């Protein structure tokens, strides 16, 4: 064996210089393999530690609820801090899809939920900055985060774990929605659920809300440049917010456009043209502006009462109301035509007698001018409109309005049950002996006060409640002439008279016709609100009242309410002309008109009676609001049945009346009745002797009454705030006010 061979063998036996290197590589490879296996095991462990996609439900992203008028016009949104309006795929423009894929996930249509190339690229970046785990998330993974997990941890080991779980769920989601159609579904879901930034404390979630917030237009109207600007926001909504940093937003938008061109979505020429355009963002109040704000507030409160504040705040509902915008506009026009330029306030409310739907609710108030709605929250003395409650009480008891008579005269005496009674008229004119029909047409305080005492104030209170009055009604003589401690709202009065118009059916008023709730399939499940009705009076009773009140419009205090179609109603005037009313109805619509001052009890001025101030507004409004139908009132199915009725004051008159008969003149010539506006010419059959013996049939016993705990004396003190009722005297005069 040669010396060279022996040396070569010795080197081979020692392994030579390469052996340690190979050994080291082998060891490193072994450890690397073990490390990879360990890493893989850890990834698998993390992935399997989370729930499967089919075991979790997408979280409610929230959405703004929309309130519509009866004809589908938007009145406003109900929203919390999240502004979101989901739209269908057909409403999302292709430019938005393309721009989003180009800037967020260029291999979106190639991967299966996880982009491994993107993961490697992100891993390299993360080695440079271990405190912030970034990159690698596909659109599908982002959708998982936004819709299912809501996990936003970005740092350390937990940040890696989040991404692993998102990747697993993303693959499962893609398996559930395979193919090109599945990709389209996932992309549209992403565009409906990704945050685009916060403006004015409200976060726009979804492309529709973003389009409205930044451009004041629907998503399907976005230009290429606008679509690119919005597509660039989700990665860093605050940094790229065009209202906060226009230069950054512009640079980001142009980057999106260049990537779209590089990836073939648009041509270089299209990109260059769009890059040359300004941002064009437009601050607006789309989600905050309201139409008919007072009515909007009323609707929102009704929803809270029905479904709870938490459900209403969650949003997503489409609410279709009862408001008829044409009627609402007619109401505003009538109020403006008569009250604009004055210091007077006014309100009009219309209710559908067939179901209680509020068709119009208007006032002269500018939203925010008062802390309450004049139509639904303003409480005012009712004046002689409350005489109808006395009339309805009499009719439901079978009192014949044609044959039952009282003597109209100044009243000043002590009733043994109710204490001091003091009733007169401003004009000093009285109609003498008259039946209830004539007393209604003349709005005679004296006769109605005596009738109320004979019927019993408790019975009148019950009738008022049965008609639909919700405000407290005092079982006291003052209520007969509208003297209520708290007063009534125009809405209450419209609905109370609607009970007559509906042939005795009392409705629960409603501003909501239908509510549609969002479903999981991006559709809606709608609930139509059913009318809540109660038979309060026989139709024969309401028909008799309608006949009298219709005559009142034709020849009584309400002549200025005429508009060419059958109508019935009653005027009301409060002491010192502080409030003026006309409440009436047609076969298909009940409407109240109130005129006064919203927060104090100043006079409207001399002669500002209901027949002069409110009735003309009512007639002008109803001429438009009543629609094409001009038919007469329906005949009752049950005839009105009357029985003779003479209570104490009809039987004996007021023998202990303190008014000197010698000072009384029956409708003195030239005396003007302030309710009718007509000169008194002696229209009654009475005389200065107050005849008490002219009866058609023998009298009967008066109804029993309950003695109140405190006799009614003095005068109701004027209140402050939203309503200031006072004891009403109709066309003038006082009566026993509430204590």
What is the 3-state secondary structure of 465-504?
A: HHHCCCCCCCCCHHHHHCCCCCCECHHHHHHHHHHHHCCC
b/e sequence 270-303, b meaning 16+ C-beta within 10 Å: bbeebbebebebeeeebbeebebbbbbbbbbebb
Spatial separation of the C-alpha atoms in residues 574 and 53, rounded to whole Å: 69
Same-fold call for 53-67+76-275 versus 347-511+532-663: no
CB neighbour list of residue 470: distance below 8 Å, 6 or more residues apart = 492
Spatial separation of the C-alpha atoms in residues 461 and 477, rounded to whole Å: 10
**Contact of 576 with 328, CB cutoff 8 Å:** no
CATH of domain 347-511+532-663: 3.40.710.10
pLDDT in tens, 50-107: 677 776 777 777 789 999 999 999 999 998 889 999 999 999 999 999 999 999 999 9
Q: Strand, helix or coil at 572?
A: strand
CB neighbour list of residue 100: distance below 8 Å, 6 or more residues apart = 139, 187, 190, 191, 231
Structure tokens at 535: 């038979």
Spatial separation of the C-alpha atoms in residues 579 and 612, rounded to whole Å: 12
User: Where do we find the tokens 């006032």?
Assistant: 363
> By C-alpha distance, which of 370, 305, 298, 348 is closest to 75?
298
Structure tokens at 114: 């996880």
Instruction: Kindly tell me the number of DSSP H helices and DSSP E strands found in the chain.
Output: 22, 19
* DSSP-assigned letters across all residues of 324-361: -HHHHHHHHHHHHHHHTTSS-EEEEEEE-TTT-BEEEE
Quick check: 119 pLDDT over 70?
no
b/e sequence 357-382, b meaning 16+ C-beta within 10 Å: bbbbbbbbbeeeebebbbbbbbbbbb
Query: Bridge partners of 581?
Result: 572, 594
**Domain 53-67+76-275 homologous superfamily, CATH:** Biosynthetic peptidoglycan transglycosylase-like (1.10.3810.10)
Domain boundaries, the chain: 53-67+76-275, 347-511+532-663
Quick check: 560 pLDDT over 90?
yes
Q: Who wins on pLDDT, 720 or 301?
A: 301
Spatial separation of the C-alpha atoms in residues 610 and 443, rounded to whole Å: 11
pLDDT at 21: 45
DSSP alpha helices (H): ranges in 626-679?
Answer: 648-651
pLDDT at 133: 42
Chain-wide mean pLDDT for the chain? 83
Q: What is the mean pLDDT of residues 631-650?
A: 91
pLDDT at 306: 93
Spatial separation of the C-alpha atoms in residues 95 and 102, rounded to whole Å: 10
Neighbours of 733 (CB within 10 A): 22
**Contact of 563 with 619, CB cutoff 8 Å:** yes
pLDDT in tens, 178-204: 999 999 999 999 999 999 999 999 999
Query: Bridge partners of 512?
Result: 321
CB neighbour list of residue 267: distance below 8 Å, 6 or more residues apart = 261
pTM value is 0.80
Q: Strand, helix or coil at 402?
A: coil
pLDDT in tens, 678-722: 444 433 333 333 333 322 223 223 334 343 333 333 333 223 333
Q: Strand, helix or coil at 238?
A: coil
Quick check: 512 pLDDT over 60?
yes
For 457, 570, 640, 685, the CA distances from 406, given in Å and listed in that order, are: 17, 20, 21, 10
Q: Strand, helix or coil at 13?
A: helix
**Contact of 481 with 293, CB cutoff 8 Å:** no
């Amino acid at each position: 064996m040669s010396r060279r061979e022996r040396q070569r063998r010795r080197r081979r036996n020692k392994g030579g210089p390469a052996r340690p290197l190979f050994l080291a590589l082998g060891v490193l490879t072994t450890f690397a393999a073990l490390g990879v296996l360990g890493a893989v095991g850890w990834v698998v462990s993390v992935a399997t530690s989370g729930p499967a996609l089919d075991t979790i439900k997408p979280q409610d992203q929230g959405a703004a609820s929309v309130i519509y008028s009866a004809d589908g016009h938007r009145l406003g949104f109900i929203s919390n801090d999240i502004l979101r309006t989901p739209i269908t795929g057909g409403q999302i423009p292709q430019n938005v899809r393309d721009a989003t894929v180009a800037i967020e996930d260029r291999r979106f249509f190639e991967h299966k939920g996880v982009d491994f190339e993107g993961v490697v690229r992100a891993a390299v970046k993360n080695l440079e900055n271990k405190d912030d785990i970034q990159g690698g998330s596909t659109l599908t993974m982002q959708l998982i985060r936004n819709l299912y997990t809501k996990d936003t941890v970005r740092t350390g080991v937990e940040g890696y774990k989040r991404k692993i779980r998102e990747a697993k769920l993303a693959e499962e989601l893609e398996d559930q929605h395979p193919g090109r159609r599945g990709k389209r579904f996932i992309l549209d879901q992403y565009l409906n659920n990704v945050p685009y930034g916060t403006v004015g404390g409200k976060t726009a979630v979804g492309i529709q809300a973003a389009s409205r917030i930044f451009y004041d237009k629907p998503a399907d109207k976005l230009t290429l440049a606008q679509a690119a600007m919005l597509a660039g926001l989700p990665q860093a909504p605050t940094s790229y917010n065009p209202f906060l940093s226009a230069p950054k937003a512009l640079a980001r938008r142009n980057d999106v456009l260049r990537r779209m061109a590089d990836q073939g979505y648009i041509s270089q020429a299209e990109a260059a043209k769009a890059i040359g355009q300004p941002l064009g963002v437009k601050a607006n109040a789309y989600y905050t502006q309201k139409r008919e704000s007072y009515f909007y507030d009323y609707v929102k409160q009704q929803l809270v009462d029905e479904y709870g504040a938490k459900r209403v705040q969650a949003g997503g509902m489409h609410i279709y109301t009862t408001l008829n915008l044409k009627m609402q506009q007619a109401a505003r026009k009538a109020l403006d035509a008569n009250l604009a330029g004055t210091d007077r306030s006014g309100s009009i409310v219309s209710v559908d007698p067939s179901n209680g739907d509020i068709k119009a609710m208007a006032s002269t108030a500018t939203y925010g001018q008062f802390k309450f709605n004049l139509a639904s929250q303003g409480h005012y003395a009712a004046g002689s409109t409350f005489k109808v409650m006395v009339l309805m009480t009499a009719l439901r008891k079978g009192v014949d309005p044609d044959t039952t008579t009282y003597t109209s005269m100044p009243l000043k005496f002590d009733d043994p049950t109710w204490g001091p009674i003091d009733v007169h008229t401003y004009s000093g004119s009285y109609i003498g002996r008259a039946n209830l029909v004539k007393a209604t047409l003349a709005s005679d305080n004296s006769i109605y006060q005596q009738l109320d005492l004979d019927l019993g104030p408790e019975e009148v209170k019950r009738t008022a409640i049965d008609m639909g009055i919700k405000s407290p009604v005092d079982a006291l003589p003052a209520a007969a002439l509208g003297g209520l401690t708290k007063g009534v709202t125009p809405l209450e009065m419209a609905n109370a008279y609607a009970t007559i118009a509906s042939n005795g059916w009392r409705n629960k008023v409603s501003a909501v016709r239908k509510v549609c709730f969002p479903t999981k399939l991006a559709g809606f499940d709608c609930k139509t609100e059913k009318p809540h009705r109660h038979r309060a009076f026989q139709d024969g009773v309401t028909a008799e009242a309608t006949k009298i009140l219709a005559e009142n419009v034709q020849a009584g205090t309400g002549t200025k309410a005429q508009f060419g179609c059958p109508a019935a109603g009653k005027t009301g005037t409060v002491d010192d002309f502080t409030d003026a009313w006309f409440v009436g109805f047609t076969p298909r619509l009940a409407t109240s008109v109130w005129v006064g001052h919203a927060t104090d009890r100043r006079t409207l001025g001399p002669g500002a009676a209901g027949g002069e101030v409110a009735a003309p507004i009512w007639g002008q409004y109803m001429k438009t609001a009543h629609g094409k139908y001009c038919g007469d009132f329906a005949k009752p199915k049950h005839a009105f049945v009357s029985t003779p009725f003479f209570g104490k004051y009809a039987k004996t008159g007021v023998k202990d009346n303190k008014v000197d008969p010698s000072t009384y003149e029956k409708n003195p010539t030239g005396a003007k009745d302030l309710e009718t506006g007509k000169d008194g010419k002696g229209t009654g059959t009475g005389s200065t002797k107050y005849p008490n013996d002219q009866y058609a049939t023998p009298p009967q016993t008066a109804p029993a009454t309950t003695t109140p705990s405190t006799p009614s004396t003095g005068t109701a003190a004027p209140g402050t705030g939203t309503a200031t009722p006072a004891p009403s005297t109709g066309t003038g005069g006082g009566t026993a006010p509430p204590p």
